[in-house]
Amino acid sequence: MLLKAIFALVALGAIAGAIGMLVSTNPVHSALFLVWVLFCVAAIYLMLGAEFLAIIQIIVYAGAIMVLFLFIIMLLNLRRDEFGPDPMPNQWTWGLIFSSLLAIALVSATGAATALRFSGDPLTLISIPDLARLLFTKYLIAFELASVILLIAMVGVIVLAKRMKEGA
């Protein structure tokens, strides 16, 4: 019961943060709201017994990815008029209609999942060694490919961000 209440609180916090991200006009505020949402998601991972993913979420997502976002926002150093114009007149209306239709469809589909029940005590479940075993046996090739993708991304970023010389 207590866990249910905590989950509801964290979930409402995440939703409120996501709404805050959408309504704020300053991209720095949007990024900080997204950091809050990512922390809430990490808390939900903890409640679902995924400790390793919660730590990774905070270190990689909130730590590295969002710092990169903030770094780029501040590097571009946008003036107020460069934040982008106000949305087009009907953009909010149609966006709200389509996304609420999507939300209704998805949420009503989750009703079919009530038959499934969680099992196991989340606090005594130690999943990190099992996760590592799975990662280095069944998913070994995918793991190695992920490292190759990170390398390619690194090279790609350097190529993209390099200032092109005249006539090159």
Partner 1 sequence: MELGIPLNWVLALSAILFSLGALGVLIKRNIIVMFMSIELMLNAANIALVAFSRAHGNLDGQVIVFFTITLAAAEVAIGLAIIVALFRIKRTVDIDRAALLKW
If binding is defined by CB under 8 A, does position 34 make contact with partner 1? yes
Count residues near partner 1 (CB under 8 A). Answer: 90
Which residues in 55-84 contact partner 1 (CB under 8 A)?
A: 56-57, 60-61, 64-65, 68-69, 72-73, 75-76, 78, 82-84
Q: How far is the CB of 167 from partner 1 (least distance, A)?
A: 17
Q: How far is the CB of 166 from partner 1 (least distance, A)?
A: 14
Write out the two tokens for 87.
Answer: 């949305």
- The amino acid that residue 59 corresponds to is I
If binding is defined by CB under 8 A, does position 102 make contact with partner 1? yes
In whole angstroms, give the CA distance from residue 46 to residue 63. Answer: 17
If binding is defined by CB under 8 A, does position 3 make contact with partner 1? yes
Q: How far is the CB of 64 from partner 1 (least distance, A)?
A: 6
80, 89, 113, 165: residue in contact with partner 1 (rule CB under 8 A): 113
Angle, CA 134 vertex, CA 63 and CA 7 arms, to 5°: 50
- What DSSP string describes 48-71? TT-HHHHHHIIIIIIIIIHHHHHH
In whole angstroms, give the CA distance from residue 136 to residue 122. Answer: 24
